[in-house]
Amino acid sequence: MASAVQRSAAQQPAARFQAGILASLLGLAVLAWLLTHDRMLGMDAGPGTDPGSLGFYIVSWVVMMSAMMFPSIAPMVLAFGFVQRRRRDRGAVERAVSSWVFVAGYLLTWTVFGVAAYGLYVGVRSLSIPALSWHRGGPYLAGGVLLAAAIYQLTPTKDACLRRCRSPLDFVLTHWRDGPSGALRMGVVHGAWCVGCCWGLMAALFALGVMSVPWMVAIAGLIAIEKLLPRKELANRLVAVTLLALALGVALAPRDVPGLTLPGSSQAKAAVHMTSWESWPNTGSGRARSTTLLGRSC
């Protein structure tokens, strides 16, 4: 009886520690959503929206990733924190490394991916290809990106990455590294698996409107579904079907897609008008000039 009481007393600090990590992650996610909403309010000009200057984009991207990903990576961060605490309690290490070092490595990987995506996206926009304007091939281009994301959901590569994202304790135990540099490396590696899992969904966000907060929420919801629902295969196929429906809707009937801002529409023109001054940080406004390749008539 006494030993059971002692075990219960010993477990209470660990439970409080885990609860603190979870509350911190979710609290920061809520704060990041509020900052994202404030930062990108009125900037959605639809598919092909100008992401602004590199500096503005990087800050916005990191905040956006925190908002979209922190709820989904909570099980992984909790597993990392749990193992760190157990190793410290058993004397394997003198001091536990903060879980935020792991999170920093995770965000570092997503930042590198975001910069690469920015370069590709801006590079394609700079070509100003008339055939890709919204009133010509734009809907088919956006629909094609969504279709590619849907197809990727069903590939072995996607399945391998998703399995690792859905097995927190297995990942932590098989990729364990001691010390702050080890924790950072673990975060980077987990971020790489997460990028492999979710790059198609992020590409879908660019196709739907990279400055659209409602579409960010929708994509974050799909990420949470496939990472957190008990049945992986069902969750994965549900996401694939959703992306396929969006692909067909954007390509064939974009006006009927709920929440989609059409380039050239009054809403898109208002977004361009609101953000037509010089890009941040030159004016200190925190907003970027917003135009859209797909919205140009040719």
Query: In the prediction, which pLDDT does 273 show?
Result: 65
Burial of 289 (0-12, 13-18, 19+ CB in 10 A): middle
Neighbour-count burial of 134, counting CB atoms closer than 10 A to its CB (0-12 exposed, 13-18 middle, 19+ buried): buried
The reply to whether 3 falls in a domain is no
Report residue 229 as tokens.
């629902």
What the block records as the tokens of 135 is: 């009133």
Buried b (16+ CB within 10 A) or exposed e, 252-261: eebeebeebb
**Exposure of 138 in the CB half-sphere (CA atoms within 13 A):** 26
Q: Does residue 280 fall inside a structural domain?
A: no
221: nearest Cα among 79, 119, 111, 69: 69
Write the DSSP symbol of residue 256: G
- Report if residue 46 sits inside a domain: yes
Given a contact cutoff of 8 angstroms between Cβ atoms, the answer to whether 175 and 186 are in contact is yes
C-alpha triplet 16, 67, 57: angle, nearest 5°: 140
Domain that holds residue 66: 21-254
Q: Examine residue 268 and state whether it is found in any structural domain, yes or no.
A: no
Supply the pLDDT for residue 159.
94
Residue 271 forms part of a structural domain: no
Per-residue CA distances from 177 to 83, 98, 124, 291 (Å): 11, 13, 40, 45
Q: Number of structural domains, the chain?
A: 1
Q: Domain for residue 5, yes or no?
A: no
| Strand, coil or helix: 136 | coil
pLDDT for the residue 87: 79
User: Which of these, 166, 156, 160, lies nearest to 72 by C-alpha position?
Assistant: 166
Asked whether 236 and 163 are in contact (CB, 8 A), the reply is no
Q: According to the model, what pLDDT value does residue 236 have?
A: 92
* Ranges of residues in the chain whose predicted pLDDT is under 70: 1-14, 91-94, 272-298
* Residue 292, domain member (yes or no): no
pLDDT at residue 267 in the model: 80
- State how far the alpha carbon of 275 is from the alpha carbons of 44, 61, 223, 287, in Å: 10, 18, 30, 7
pLDDT reported for residue 2: 45
d(CA 209, CA 47): 5
User: Residue 22's pLDDT is what?
Assistant: 87
The residues pairing with 49 across neighbouring beta strands, listed in sequence order, are 292
Q: Give, as one character, the DSSP assignment of residue 234.
A: H
Q: What is the pLDDT of residue 291?
A: 45
pLDDT for 288? 41
Q: Which residues fall within 8 angstroms of residue 8, CB to CB, at 6 or more apart?
A: none
